[in-house]
Amino acid sequence: MSTLGIDLRIRHTPFHPRTREANLLNRWHSWQGFTVADAYFDADLEYFAVRNATGVFDLSPMTKYRISGPEALAYLDRLLTRDVTKLKPGRVAYAVWCDDAGKVIDDGTLFHLDDGTYRLCSQEYHLEWLQAAALGFDVLVQDETDSIAALAIQGPTSCAVLGAFGFANLPSLKPFGLRDDQVEGWNVTVSRTGFTGDLGYELWIDPEDALAIWDRLFDAGRPYGIKPMGGDALQMARIEAGFIQAGCDFLPADRLVRPGRARSPFELGLGWLVDFNKPHFSGRAALALENDVGSRWELVRLLVDGNKPARDAYLYGSARAPIGFVTSAMWSPVAKQNIALGTIERGKRRGSLKAEIFYQRELHWSRVLADCQTVEGPFFDPPRRRTTPALLR
Amino acid sequence: MTERLDVIVIGAGHNGLVCAERLARAGRKVVVLERREQVGGMTETIEFAPGYRASACAQFLYDLPMSTVDELGLVSHGLTMDPRPLDTVALAPDTEPRVFSSNRTSTLPGMDASAWPAFRKHMLDLAGFIEHIKQRPPPKLHQRDRADLLGLAGMGLALRRLGTDDMREFLRLITSNVYDLLCEHFEDPVVRGAIGFDAVLGTHLGPRSPGSVLTLLHRWSRGGGPVQPIGGLGAVSSALAASARAAGVHVRTESGVRNINVHAGRAIGVTLNDGSTLEAQDIVSNVDPRRTLLDLVGARHIDIGLARRFHRIRAKGTAARMLLALDGLPEAPSGNDRLLRQRLVVAGDLDELERAYNPVKYGEFSPKPALEISVPTLSDPALAPAGHHVVSITAQYAPLRPEGGWTTSRRDAFADAIRNTLDAALPGVARHIVAEDLLVPDDLESRYGITGGHWHHGELALDQFLFTRPVAFGAQYRQALAGLTLCSAGAHPGGHVSGHAGRHAAAAILRRGTES
């Protein structure tokens, strides 16, 4: 109990004894109440580990829902905007779900574990909505966040690291593939998924085994340059991959107060996740209407001139009034370029975009207007991300 | 084999019949599908014991506009009633009956004698605004539709027309409770109790519950005077069905609907319990909104937020019905035979009424229930064998499903409680009873297929009223699902045998028809 007499219910992940020891900077943040590292020793070096060797990220706080029962698939098909009926056991799909107005509540990954049993993973907490969605379905929705520990092992040497760890035949696992395995007597579910846009895997394990697996993993990975990776490095990697993040590039629609602040899948560049050829899904009518009349917002991926990261910058079309703003920005080491994700009002752009960047040097603020180029797709998309069999080096 | 129609109405309750008649008159090909053997739903007359008949549920008309009676030609289709409203007579043991009349024949003690006409006029003035709302569909908010804006403006104007003082008073009272209101105006406990009973009848409210002034105004919006048709309320349904048939409606009984069929986001037809299907341009449901959307349509065909709102509709009935067959008449109150023909109320004072309410919150019935009583055979002798009578009672409060269910012993105990309360108010009635029938909310739910056995298909309360009845973003009869229209009391403006919801639903369909 603290001095204030308030129990903050601070939670630790099963890996905390190791992450605490590894966190030389003692920099932490709270993710759904869990204590997770911003950075362990140097965010940039951790990032370079992901791009050149292997970075390990503790993603145990990821919210995990187990969805089972005779109508689990029908339930998911009504909840999610994409057609998930074709998702075979042992496969993973990226998906979003919307409120009645067709605005995104969250994005996440759907794991088809066994025939008819699924796991839905998301950054935010959504049990209340998922329970409401279960009305009228013979389905069981359980929060299993605390009963599964998870690690992301990402980077070009990740497959080799996991081979040394003890996985056999891992290179044959395709992107978005999922497999149950036994390593050294541990039950480990491994998926070829991640949030870095690189070759990488995620391990889903019993929390009891967490520390032993962490130790063995870092022992096995030492020759391959394995490093722990905090949230800052993950941010860099995911922006380069062009991935959007809840709480950053959009906010969950069910937590917003002001009208017009929520985003539809179309407005987040996720129109490919909306399937009008399947039976009813929540938000369908609103999305069909938006598809006809057009969206209000548009997500843009930007190459920004100059050496100033366009953090929180206003975006201008040709006119004097801003038409949008940057939601994520960084200097990208692989692109040797400033990059950014932003939102602009659709149809307001005339010519090229300009970012109005404010930056501070020794207390003094300066302002620069930087030209931007829009790009389609990720900023960084190495072939090794998809190559199967996976790279072993 | 699929038959093609313009409109399918599910449920031959009074709103369904009104809606069907209106649509058929406008040239639509309409079929009404009724699960039971007879039409009427809760607006029916039953033979509850051999030779004894009475209204099964609602026993009075408060709210049926004469314009509807005329437009549908209900008199020519067999409806007979004395349009003069009955008086309400409050009975309490060992004291003179209090008579509430809409004219000068009230007999109330002390200052209340002069307070009553003033109070009644004041309430009717305020209720005029509620009547304005009832007569019209709820305007849609957040829309630029001209009709909706006009409707909204009209509503504002109607409120403003109350005048500054009345408007303030209306806004003060509308969320308030009837207990405080009545204590402001009346002295006599029995007078207070009887008026308070009008506010809570058919609701899950006690006189101290917020919102119980709204329910009083809702009941009194057309004057508050009860009328009893000859033949019981079933006569209204028979006349409505005859009127509908005359307009060309095909009324099919014993045709229960299992599903409303949805294709490509639109209600396109129904599957009956026998497996056959029917298709139509418009599907209209007189089934309560929750059952319509969650059971007949299925939550999977609508959005998650909307399904959750329908799931959360508050609908827990508290009113039970008891019908008694008598071999003779009890003593008239004060020996005045005229009084026995009126609407009798046994509610005690407001505290007793509140205490009667308390147990139902915890799933138990009132040991001393409040009663609304009539002896319909006095004006309509054909309801019973010669010389015999029927006593029709609405008793509050009874829980929907008490813990352990409505076992025989619990039913008997509740029936005893009703009979004892009745006998204390009308001494000697109990020894004339030759047969009886008790319907608790659970029975109403299973017999009439109404969620919670609630007369209004959903509690009448500010959070389930007007723009939010039955649910927010589903209030304009046609918003829940394309091709589906709600016409039951669960839609605006709520219960009583008024036909409003049926009329408004029909108008909504016809309006769309002229647009497209």
Provide the pLDDT for residue B3: 64
Average confidence (pLDDT) over B350-373: 97
Write out pLDDT tens, residues A296-316. Answer: 999 999 999 999 999 999 999
Is B306 touching A (CB cutoff 8 A)? Answer: yes
CB atoms B304 and A100 under 8 Å: yes
Per CB-CB distance under 8 Å, the chain B contacts of A285 are: 265, 303, 482
CA pair distance B294, B297, nearest whole angstrom: 6
CA pair distance B29, B165, nearest whole angstrom: 49
Shortest CB distance from B306 goes to which of A79, A100, A137? A100
pLDDT over 50 (residue B515): no
Q: Two tokens at B340?
A: 């026995």
Note the Cα A50 to chain centre separation in Å.
Answer: 15
Compare all CA atoms of chain A with the CA of B306 and give the residue at the minimum distance: A100
Helix (H) or strand (E) holding B9, with range, is strand B2-10
Q: Which of A131, A139, A132, A128 is nearest to A74 (CA)?
A: A139
Per CB-CB distance under 8 Å, the chain B contacts of A137 are: 299-300
Torsion of CA A12, A15, A21, A25, to 10 degrees: -60
pLDDT over 70 (residue B406): yes
CB atoms B308 and A132 under 8 Å: yes
Provide the pLDDT for residue B149: 85
pLDDT bin (cut points 50, 70, 90) of residue B143 is low
Phi-psi region of A261 (alpha: psi -120 to 50; beta: other; left: phi over 0): alpha
The phi and psi torsions of B426 (rounded to 5 degrees) equal -120, 80
Q: What percent of chain A has pLDDT over 90?
A: 92
CB atoms A129 and B311 under 8 Å: no
Write out pLDDT tens, residues A10-46. Answer: 899 999 999 999 999 999 999 989 999 999 999 999 9
CB atoms B304 and A133 under 8 Å: yes
CB atoms B262 and A284 under 8 Å: no
The phi and psi torsions of A187 (rounded to 5 degrees) equal -85, 120
- ipTM of the complex, rounded to two decimals: 0.92
Per CB-CB distance under 8 Å, the chain B contacts of A133 are: 304
Write out pLDDT tens, residues B164-176. Answer: 999 999 999 999 9
Ranking A64-73, A135-144, B78-87, B116-125 by mean pLDDT, the lowest is B78-87
B24: helix, coil or strand?
A: helix
Surface of A (19-78) touching B: CB under 8 A: 74, 78
Angle, CA of A166, A156 and A336, to the nearest 5°? 160
pLDDT bin (cut points 50, 70, 90) of residue B99 is very high
Per CB-CB distance under 8 Å, the chain A contacts of B298 are: 136
Contact B138, B475 (CB under 8 A): yes
Compare all CA atoms of chain A with the CA of B303 and give the residue at the minimum distance: A282
Q: Which of B284, B237, B245, B238 is nearest to B499 (CA)?
A: B237
pLDDT over 70 (residue A73): yes
Q: What is the mean pLDDT of chain B?
A: 93
How many angstroms separate the CA of residue B308 from the nearest CA in chain A?
6
DSSP string for A277-310: TSS--TTHHHHHHHHHH--SEEEEEEEE-SSS--
Give, in order, the Cα–Cα distances in Å from A118 to each of A91, A131, B6, B361. 10, 15, 43, 40
Contact A378, A241 (CB under 8 A): yes
Write out pLDDT tens, residues B182-199. Answer: 999 999 999 999 999 999
Q: Two tokens at B492?
A: 């605006």
Is A256 touching B (CB cutoff 8 A)? Answer: no
Per CB-CB distance under 8 Å, the chain A contacts of B262 are: 280
Provide the pLDDT for residue A352: 86
A44 contacts: CB under 8 Å, gap ≥ 6: A233, A333
Q: What is the mean pLDDT of chain A?
A: 95
Provide the pLDDT for residue B152: 86
How many angstroms separate the CA of residue A106 from the nearest CA in chain B?
15
Shortest CB distance from B300 goes to which of A78, A132, A283? A78
Provide the pLDDT for residue B516: 42
A162: helix, coil or strand?
A: helix
CB atoms A280 and B305 under 8 Å: no
Per CB-CB distance under 8 Å, the chain B contacts of A136 are: 294, 298-300, 307
Q: Number of A to B CB contacts under 8 A, please give it.
A: 47
DSSP string for B338-393: HHHTSEEEE--SHHHHHHHHHHHHTT---SS-EEEEE-GGGT-GGGSSTT-EEEEE
Give, in order, the Cα–Cα distances in Å from B380 to each of B229, B377, B383, B386. 9, 5, 6, 11
Write out pLDDT tens, residues A346-362. Answer: 988 888 899 999 999 99
Pinpoint the alpha helices (H) of chain A: 16-22, 43-52, 72-79, 127-133, 158-165, 210-221, 231-240, 284-293
CB atoms A136 and B307 under 8 Å: yes
CA pair distance B475, B491, nearest whole angstrom: 7
Q: Which of B282, B306, B251, B268 is nearest to B485 (CA)?
A: B282
Compare all CA atoms of chain B with the CA of A277 and give the residue at the minimum distance: B264
Surface of B (235-294) touching A: CB under 8 A: 262, 265, 294
How many angstroms separate the CA of residue A280 from the nearest CA in chain B?
6
Surface of B (477-516) touching A: CB under 8 A: 482
Give, in order, the Cα–Cα distances in Å from A231 to each of A85, A196, A329, B279. 33, 11, 15, 57
The phi and psi torsions of B363 (rounded to 5 degrees) equal 80, 20
Average confidence (pLDDT) over B144-149: 79
Q: Two tokens at B234?
A: 């079933």
Write out pLDDT tens, residues B413-472. Answer: 999 999 999 999 999 999 999 999 999 999 999 999 999 999 999 999 988 988 888 988
CB atoms A99 and B306 under 8 Å: no
Torsion of CA A203, A204, A210, A215, to 10 degrees: -10
Give, in order, the Cα–Cα distances in Å from B374 to each of A203, B105, B395. 74, 19, 12
Q: Which of A78, A276, A280, A275 is nearest to B265 (CA)?
A: A280
Q: Which of A95, A65, A62, A63 is nearest to A77 (CA)?
A: A95
Q: Which of A383, A388, A391 is nearest to A172 (CA)?
A: A388
By the 10 Å C-beta count (0-12 exposed, 13-18 middle, 19+ buried), B432 is classed as middle
Surface of B (444-473) touching A: CB under 8 A: 473
Is B83 touching A (CB cutoff 8 A)? Answer: no
Burial B149-171 (b: 16+ CB within 10 A, else e): eebbeebeebeeebeeebeeebe
pLDDT over 70 (residue B111): yes
CA pair distance A62, B69, nearest whole angstrom: 64
Q: Which residue has the tokens 């408004």?
A: B504
CA pair distance B482, B501, nearest whole angstrom: 18
CB atoms A135 and B307 under 8 Å: yes
Write out pLDDT tens, residues A100-121. Answer: 999 999 999 999 999 899 999 9
Q: Which residue has the tokens 């829309």?
A: B143
Is A127 touching B (CB cutoff 8 A)? Answer: no
Per CB-CB distance under 8 Å, the chain A contacts of B306 are: 100
Provide the pLDDT for residue B9: 98
Of the residues A76, A77, A100, A264, the best mutation for testing chain B's interface (the one with the most B CB atoms within 10 Å of its CB) is: A100
Surface of A (78-107) touching B: CB under 8 A: 78-79, 99-100
Provide the pLDDT for residue A1: 53
Q: Two tokens at A165?
A: 């760890």
CA atoms A126, A132, A133, A134: torsion sign = positive
Angle, CA of B332, B336 and B339, to the nearest 5°? 75
Shortest CB distance from A135 goes to which of B311, B473, B482? B311
| Secondary-structure breakdown of chain B: helix, strand, coil percentages, each rounded to the nearest 5 | 40, 20, 40
